[in-house]
Structure 1
Amino acid sequence: MSVWSKAAAGQASLADAPVLRRRHIAAATIGNALEFYDFLTYAFFAIQIGHAFFPSGNAYASLMLSLATFGAGFVTRPLGALVIGAYADRVGRKPAMLLCFTLIGAAIVAMALIPPYSAIGIAAPILAVVARMAQGFSLGGEIGSNTAFLLEASVPGKRGLTVSWQGASQGLALVAAGSVGVILSAAMPASLLDAYGWRIAFLLGAATLPFGLWLRSSLPETLHRPEASLPTPAARSTRIAQARRSWRVIVLGLVVLAAGTISSYVFTYMATFAQDTLRLPALVGFVAETGGNITGIVAVLFGGWLSDRIGRWRVNVWGNLAYLVAILPTFWWITEARSAFALIAGVTALGGLSGLIYGSFYAGLAESLPKSIRGSGFGTVYSVSIAAFGGTTQLVVTWLIHVTGSALAPAWYVLAAASVGQVALMLMAESAPARLAMGRSPIAESLPVVAG
């Protein structure tokens, strides 16, 4: 059978492919949300965890050691993306996602139950680092497998909206973690929050593990599902060769996700920023983060939906430009006012603007990668960018504020990153099926279109 005949047969068999149901999206979303809830809860309680595992007479040193342990989880992300992503590309998306969920379950329980330094000494920080590295390995594999599943299970005309649930699930995790932080901060005195309150946040995440495993066990497999796309060459090339041919997409994806990572992790730093720099209560920081994440969820879903209609390129470029323009004046207002209202309103607004492009961009990046390297490719691009910048962002911001004495240091860091990301977004090719049928943007017109 010729390549074109195989493609036609694949098109005809699409009608017989598994139907993506709401519970399938929910299973992927809830699982991904729990992964990020666990990973990001640490960031919210960095000060308290520092006191438990890294006691020091110097508050700055304790916080920096705690943030360094948070960063340890990023080191193993690329390894997880390669190992589990390759497993997803060879065996299937479903078994890879179940494996990730099991690993994260073990890590989150361990993190909640590790005794403090006062009880077991140096073993406490060592175990905390091991748990963080296990979380990073799992999350590295989760992101590629999850995104590939959502893209492949969706009809082409709704890929942006469907894949945007991957980004929205991260926002849901942040809202859940922030809400838990708000409740615990409001209900417990600082001494109890410091002693064991942060552990409650991890245990609440662990309590959802049986439900998440049950949901994921019902997922259909999408690895071998035919796609409505351009036919692939008859002779299947190696995955390394396919990655080399996709070098432009991979490099631009790394740049965009690095910029987005810096923004995201500066926002997760707001609870610490509120306490350590603005001298506001922890509760205000948690509320600000939660507000930004709620608007971010709406923006991600809206951006994904909009990109199915007007194209990925337009949403990405104009959405990021709006965010870029708003960064400096918003941070200036926050640092000048140093009030609860300014912090909450400013972070909420920036959260919405920063999230607008990611439903669109995740879909565009995933559908621009060949299917046989989609899980490992997307996961590796995502994990490498986050390993390089996610694990260092909070350390860099804390250091910049410390050495410059300026509360505006985070704004300049985010502004520089978003500016570089803007250039990369402008160089990305259009990949939305609706726009490919109508023609692409002037700048993207000269660039190649890579079929999934």
Structure 2
Amino acid sequence: MNDVTLSSADDAPVRQSHPQTRASQVRLIAACSIGNALEMYDFTVYSFFALLIGHLFFPSDSPFGSLLLAVATFGIGFVMRPLGGLVIGSYADRRGRKAAMTLTIALMVGGTLCIAFAPTYAQAGVWGSLVLLAGRLLQGFSLGGEIGASTSMLMEAGAVNRRGFRVSWQLGSQGISALLGALTGAALYATLTPTSLESWGWRLPFLGGLAIAPVGLYIRSKLDETHHAEPDAASPLGTLMREHGAKVGLGILAVTAGTVGMYLVVFFMPTYMIRVLKMPPSLSLLSGCATGVTMLIASLVSGRLADRLTRRKPLVMASVLFNIVTVIPAFWLMTRFPSVPLVLLLSVVMTACANLGSTPMLLVLMEMLPASVRASGLSVIYSVGVTVFGGSSQFIVTWLIAKTGNPLSPALYMVACGCVTLFAVWRIRERRVA
């Protein structure tokens, strides 16, 4: 039974725009998705070059030592997400979604510049490593607020019976980014010599990502605002913690399985294929391509289903439960019969099943909160959940593999997180907002 009642206060006054033309809908989706897509693209590229980045910025006598430091730097960017969620999420509820989205994409550009131009350890010693670290922290801060502001706008702008489809593009854009990042990485590994890749080639994907930013800034400047807070409204964060603290706590636990699954199956799998399954880097990067396409398709299907279903929780719970049951057999097959086709097939299946519940989960979380604290609430839920579970997942499973020698460590960790999510979703009570 549900011991915690998640009924919500009436929504604060909201002036919603309802774009009717296909062009305006495309512009809305592109503007709201492009910031998250840019960030996910950088995360994808960083993940795929983790071994090389570890060698260049964190030299160590142990190969696993360099990899641990590289994925720790990947994870430490998540430490700033809760702070970004608190600051930028509150800003979005006070000043509007559009203002917050403009701020986040500008911060993303700064973080990506730091990574793209960071001097290596051989060139600047520890200072080069610190510049790389600063870029990851800045990216983490910006994305902490990005998800709440942009996803809230996607939900609020347009027809209610199509909000699932609009929100699904926020997650679908991550699939596009993973695909582009993987294709870029695969092309560089295939065309450049190891010397060229190490000296300058690894920087090219980050420089390419920067080219998207001006487009995102321009499109976002043309959007209509969907949320106007009352001048005398109370602090969004104070209201959120005081009146909706239980919802936030359950929401954080509810996103655990999804974020861990994404960062392990989509982003960590290439490293797992290289380091554990001993596959060539150029072939292992195909995993990112396959899971990227799968994320896009599954997210859009998930959004369509969310618009048609009367209740969304059953789909979310079925998705999580299926992954709990199948992830250990899937990893066992990978390690017992390591081959690129098998790993790609199993990665696609796990990604598809996980993402079928992704959009309904986002809608459940946003609809249980009033508009006056929606951006703050989703920002805190997502950033804390991703930081505690997703951002640390690569480091944890890398450490577990190195410590225990058990190649099933990623699967065992995913099962534990899936059980946490299943319990949290079971306790959440749906609230549909017109």
Q: TM-score, normalised by structure 2?
A: 0.91
| Deviation, structure 1 residue 50 | 1.1
The alpha-carbon deviation at position 27 of structure 1 amounts to 1.6
Query: How far apart are 1:237 and its partner, in Å?
Result: 6.1
User: What is the Cα-based RMSD across aligned positions, in Å?
Assistant: 2.2
Matches within 5 A, 1:42-81: 42-81=46-85
Seen in structure 2, the aligned counterparts of structure 1 residues 109 and 236 have a Cα distance that, compared at 3 Å, is: closer
Other-structure match for 2:385: 385
Q: Does 1:291 align with 2:290?
A: yes
Q: Is 1:126 aligned with 2:130?
A: yes
- Structure 1: which 5+ residue stretches go unaligned? 1-6, 227-234, 433-450
1:236 is displaced (CA, Å) by 6.4
Query: In the alignment, residue 303 of structure 2 is paired with which amino acid?
Result: G
Structure-2 residue corresponding to 1:231: none
Is 1:265 the equivalent of 2:269?
A: no
Task: Describe the shift of the 1:360–1:245 C-alpha distance in structure 2 as closer, same or farther (beyond 3 A).
Answer: same
Pairing 1:159-174 to 2, within 5 Å after superposition: 159-174=163-178
Is 1:187 the counterpart of 2:191 in the alignment?
yes
Deviation at 1:147, TM superposition (A): 0.9
Name whichever of 183-192 and 325-334 sits farther off. 183-192
CA–CA distance in structure 1, aligned partners of residues 198 and 338 of structure 2 = 25
- TM-fit CA distance, 1:225: 9.5
- State the AA in 2 paired with 1:249: K
SS of the aligned residue for 1:269 comes to: helix
| Pairs within 5 Å for 1:316-395 | 316-395=316-395
> Who is 1:447 aligned against?
none
Secondary structure of 1:431 counterpart: coil
Shift in Å, 1:242:
4.3
**Alpha-carbon shift at residue 86 of structure 1 (Å):** 0.8
CA contact (8 A) 2:155 2:163 kept: yes
Residue segments in structure 2 that go unaligned for 5+ positions in a row: 1-9
SS of equivalent residue, structure 1 residue 115: coil
- Give me the whole-angstrom Cα distance separating, in 1, the residues matched to 2:288 and 2:425: 26
**Equivalent-residue separation in structure 1 for 2:104 and 2:298 (angstroms):** 27
Residue 428 of structure 1 and its aligned partner are, at CA, apart by 2.1
Amino acid corresponding to residue 253 of structure 2 in structure 1: V
- The whole-number CA distance in structure 2 between the counterparts of 1:56 and 1:324 is 36
For residues 262-289 of structure 1, give each alpha carbon's deviation from its aligned partner in whole angstroms, at most 9, with x where no partner exists: 1111121111111111100112221112
How far the C-alpha of 1:247 sits from its partner, in A, is: 2.9
Give the residue type in structure 1 aligned to 2:92.
A
Report whether the alignment pairs 1:274 with 2:273: yes
* Aligned counterparts of 1:237 and 1:205: Cα–Cα separation in 2: 38
Shift of 1:391: 2.3
Assess if the C-alpha contact under 8 Å between 1:289 and 1:348 holds in 2. no
Where in structure 2 are the equivalents of 1:298-313 lying within 5 Å? 298-310=297-309, 311-313=311-313
How many residues get paired? 417
Tell me the secondary structure at the aligned position of residue 278 of structure 1: coil
Q: Helix, strand or coil: the match of 2:377?
A: helix
- The answer (yes or no) to whether the contact 2:18–2:159 under 8 Å persists in 1 is no
Segment drifting more, 307-316 vs 197-206? 307-316
Alignment of 1:19-30 (within 5 A): 19=20, 21-30=25-34
CA contact (8 A) 1:41 1:201 kept: yes
Deviation digits for residues 5-35 of structure 1 (CA, Å, limit 9, x no counterpart): xx9xx89x86x75556221111212232012
* Distance (whole Å) between structure 2 residues aligned to residue 58 and residue 380 of structure 1: 37
TM-score by length of 1: 0.87
Would the aligned equivalents of 1:17 and 1:225 in 2 still touch at CA under 8 Å? no
| Structure 2 counterpart SS, 1:21 | helix
Instruction: State the secondary structure of the residue aligned to 2:407.
Output: coil
393-402 or 260-269, which deviates more: 260-269
Distance 2:199 2:335 in 1: 31
**Misfit runs of 4+, over 6 Å:** none
Tell me the residue number matched to 1:202: 206
2:39 pairs with 1:35:
yes
Mapped to 2, the partners of 1:334 and 1:125 lie a distance apart of 34
Match of 2:88 among 67, 79, 84: 84
Quick check: 25-34 or 130-139, which moved more? Answer: 25-34
CA distance in structure 1 between the partners assigned to 2:127 and 2:93 by the alignment:
37
8 Å CA contact 1:312, 1:431 repeated in 2: no
Measured after TM superposition, the shift of residue 88 of structure 1 is 0.7
SS at match of 2:222: coil
Deviation string, structure 1 residues 259-318 (Cα, Å, up to 9, x no partner): 222111112111111111110011222111221221122111111211221121122122
Structure with more contact order per residue of length (Cα contacts < 8 Å, sep ≥ 6): 2
- Choose 1 or 2 for highest CA Rg: 1
**Equivalents in 1 of 2:380, 2:346: separation in Å?**
32
Provide the residue aligned with 2:219 in structure 1. Answer: 215
Separation in structure 2 between the aligned mates of residue 189 and residue 324 of structure 1, nearest angstrom: 41
Whether the 8 Å CA contact 1:82–1:380 is kept in 2: the answer is: yes
Q: Which residue of 2 aligns with 1:229?
A: none
Selected match of 1:117 from 118, 121, 133: 121
Residues 17, 201 of structure 1: alpha-carbon distance in 2 compared, 3 angstrom cutoff: closer
Whether 1:254 and 2:258 are equivalent positions in the alignment is no
